[in-house]
Structure 1
């Protein structure tokens, strides 16, 4: 009897989940550029939350700029072929090939191509505070994160929650976001300043 009563609810939930996933895919596939501000909070186990903030720019596929301005300056630039990490205080720049690393990282969801289900297992979650949430679990076992949660409001990504292999939680909130506007190509280029040590990985 209980199964009979639950069956209509189950049949209703299946298309609802499909509609939710379609909304997520449509939002990402319909995005060519994103630009705005971000606030990032890292919640460590038994530790004080660490907060940072800055600007970001994304041009799909494969190009992004993540610029921290507080509490310390740091710059991450992906030009489609390589990823640069520049630390002005250390006078050091690290560069590595983008390769397949992008496909198993959070950047793949925002800056990668549209092959979401190839790289992630997607599942809609319960809405919170007017935000529709989705869980994306990397299919690659060596991915840096065990779970990535995306929060959408009115079809626009407004938050991300990242859980790494050590159960450390990183929350990212996006503000003043501009979607599908023309971006300056120089945002996605990086040339190390003189007297900076360059480390290739």
Structure 2
């Protein structure tokens, strides 16, 4: 898997290629109907966990963490839910209020809010998405690798997100697979809370 390229301090490319790469990135996101991949997540403290990512557009996502990590994140098309089975807590928030909204929210105009970032590798496209009118939504930088076999000609290889508290999370993807049948049941979860406390 290609490493996430560091952002370079090079000046932006000419307007034509920039526009084309922005169109390519938006098209690549829209071209994915279903996707599965292995992921490695690194938080701001450098702690790493791994797992399996499942996406079904529009709006559905599942982060199934490795055995021993009592967390689950699922998006059902409207909200993201973080389930902590260790402490039996469930948190939900609208997809549009998350940096992941750029990846999942079908109403988010990525082209309107996206800005290409210069990279040191011409095979890498880096797209920062932020809604300056809603800084509380956070920022996500999507990293693509040019690959003819991927939907839209670009393969999503990871992202870096900053939430409204400026907490940084890096996701790297590997073994991306596309176009499989995925049941909506994959984006449900077992609520760990006692029934009388829900």
TM-score (norm 2): 0.76
Counterpart Cα distance in 2 of 1:151 and 1:82? 24
Q: Is structure 2 residue 47 aligned with structure 1 residue 27? A: no
Displacement of 1:142: 4.4
Number of the residue aligned with 2:136? 143
State the SS of the aligned residue for 1:28.
helix
- How many residues matched? 179
Judging changes above 3 Å, is the alpha-carbon distance between structure 1 residues 115 and 82 closer, same or farther for their aligned structure 2 residues?
closer
Counterpart Cα distance in 1 of 2:179 and 2:29? 11
Judging changes above 3 Å, is the alpha-carbon distance between structure 1 residues 165 and 105 closer, same or farther for their aligned structure 2 residues?
closer
Q: Is structure 2 residue 125 aligned with structure 1 residue 124? A: no
More strand by share: 1
Judging changes above 3 Å, is the alpha-carbon distance between structure 1 residues 83 and 160 closer, same or farther for their aligned structure 2 residues?
closer
Number of the residue aligned with 2:183? 184
Judging changes above 3 Å, is the alpha-carbon distance between structure 1 residues 197 and 151 closer, same or farther for their aligned structure 2 residues?
farther
Q: Highest Rg: 1 or 2?
A: 1
Q: Which runs of 5+ in 2 are unaligned?
A: 1-10, 148-153
Q: Which runs of 5+ in 1 are unaligned?
A: 1-9
TM-score (norm 1): 0.75
Number of the residue aligned with 1:111? 104
Q: Is structure 2 residue 65 aligned with structure 1 residue 68? A: yes
RMSD: 2.7
Q: Which has the higher contact order (CA 8 A, sep 6+)?
A: 2
Residues 123-145 of structure 1 show CA distances to partners (whole Å, capped at 9, x for unaligned) of 11223444221111123424242
Matches within 5 A, 1:44-83: 44=45, 49-69=46-66, 72-83=69-80
Number of the residue aligned with 1:91? 88
Relative to structure 2, which stretch is displaced further, 68-77 or 155-164? 68-77
